[in-house]
């Protein structure tokens, strides 16, 4: 994918997420107005916090395009632009699309999964198949959604062939992208989905059962671990456990269930 296609793809994602006034540039030097962001930080039933991001910044990409918007939006665009052609590990050669993440730049909660699957690889977006639909339903139950107050991404940005488990060296090589995303997003809470994401962020080899129902920390950010929605599709009885974890998550950020 060319750099132009990468930035266009990123900005298209932002439009899909509600940034309706984002204007895709038609020529180098055209300004991208990313001012109109979806209202973020609000968990249903709670007063939305003041939006620091209302200040506007701009960045001129190497191809002359100008991205304007909140500091977080501009920094995410820069990161997407810098890393979208990454080939640090072998997955860079086999992927269809680099799957950066989706959501709002001033997210209250960042959800981190394992790696893109087949549908994600085709579309370039995380959690778009049946597992993603189930995740969206569970998030809606506690007033969270990717268009308002959530950002969703994976530890790996490229699909492992055949949906095999990520290799330790792939996780190591890809981790700087996730770390930078979290530095930019500065969420109030991280929720990991599945064992790999929890182990990667907590640098632990503990099993899933030992990591659930505790409040961990990633730096100064509280982190809770829950099951991956793909696991829930195979084990419907675990849905209630994830609902309970998400209620705890909502309590931590002062939203529904709190
Ligand atoms: S998985 Fe991560 S490290 Fe590997 S090529 Fe993709 S972006 Fe780069």
Q: Report pLDDT for 32.
A: 42
Q: Report pLDDT for 243.
A: 97
Give the C-alpha separation, 132 to 127, whole Å.
Answer: 4
Give the C-alpha separation, 45 to 140, whole Å.
Answer: 12
Whether the CB of 167 sits within 6 Å of ligand 1: no
Q: Report pLDDT for 40.
A: 29
Q: Structural domain boundaries of the chain?
A: 3-252
Whether the CB of 86 sits within 6 Å of ligand 1: yes
Give the C-alpha separation, 204 to 119, whole Å.
Answer: 29
Give the C-alpha separation, 163 to 159, whole Å.
Answer: 7
Q: Which residues, in sequence order, are CB contacts of 242 under 8 Å at separation 6+?
A: 138, 226, 227, 229, 232
Written as tens digits, the pLDDT of the chain (258 aa) is: 554 455 555 555 554 444 433 333 333 343 444 433 333 222 222 233 334 445 789 998 887 888 889 999 999 999 999 999 999 999 999 999 999 999 999 999 999 999 999 999 999 999 999 999 999 999 999 999 999 999 999 999 999 999 899 999 999 999 999 999 999 999 999 999 999 999 999 999 999 999 999 999 999 999 999 999 999 999 999 999 999 999 999 999 986 444
State the distance from the centre of ligand 1 to the C-alpha of 112, rounded, in angstroms: 16
Listed in order, strand segments (DSSP E) in the chain are 31-33, 57-60, 66-69, 102-103, 109-113, 150-154, 189-193, 216-218, 221-226
Using a cut of 0.85, tell me whether the model's pTM lies above it: no
Structure tokens at 130: 């049946």
Q: CA distances (Å), 174 to each of 88, 168, 246, in order?
A: 8, 10, 27
Whether the CB of 174 sits within 6 Å of ligand 1: yes
Q: Report pLDDT for 14.
A: 52
Q: Which residue of 6, 126, 157, 176 sits with most ligand 1 atoms within 8 Å of its CB, as the best mutation to test the pocket?
A: 157
**Nearest CA, atom 3, ligand 1:** 174
Count of Cβ atoms closer than 10 Å to residue 25 Cβ? 20
**Nearest CA, atom 1, ligand 1:** 158
What CATH superfamily classification does 3-252 receive? Uracil-DNA glycosylase-like domain (3.40.470.10)
State the distance from the centre of ligand 1 to the C-alpha of 174, rounded, in angstroms: 5
């Amino acid at each position: 994918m060319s750099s132009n296609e990468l930035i266009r793809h990123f900005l298209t994602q932002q439009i899909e997420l509600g940034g309706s006034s984002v204007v895709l540039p038609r020529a180098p030097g055209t300004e991208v107005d990313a001012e109109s962001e979806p209202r973020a930080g609000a968990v249903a039933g709670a007063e939305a916090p003041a939006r620091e991001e209302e200040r506007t910044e701009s960045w001129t990409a190497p191809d002359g395009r100008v991205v304007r918007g909140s500091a977080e939006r501009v920094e995410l665009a820069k990161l997407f632009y810098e890393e979208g052609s990454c080939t640090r590990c072998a997955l860079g050669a086999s992927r269809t699309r680099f799957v950066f993440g989706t959501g709002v730049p001033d997210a209250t909660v960042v959800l981190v999964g394992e790696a893109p699957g087949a549908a994600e690889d085709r579309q370039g977006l995380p959690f778009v198949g049946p597992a993603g639909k189930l995740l969206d339903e569970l998030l809606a139950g506690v007033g969270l959604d990717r268009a308002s107050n959530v950002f969703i991404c994976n530890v790996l940005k490229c699909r492992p062939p055949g949906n095999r488990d990520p290799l330790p060296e792939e996780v190591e090589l890809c981790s700087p992208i996730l770390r930078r995303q979290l530095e930019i997003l500065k969420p109030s809470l991280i929720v990991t989905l599945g064992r790999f994401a929890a182990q990667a962020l907590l640098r632990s080899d503990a099993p899933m059962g030992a990591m659930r129902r505790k409040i961990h920390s990633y730096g100064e950010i509280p982190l809770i671990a829950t099951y991956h929605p793909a696991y829930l599709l195979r084990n419907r009885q675990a849905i209630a456990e994830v609902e309970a974890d998400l209620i705890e998550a909502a309590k931590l950020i002062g939203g529904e269930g709190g």
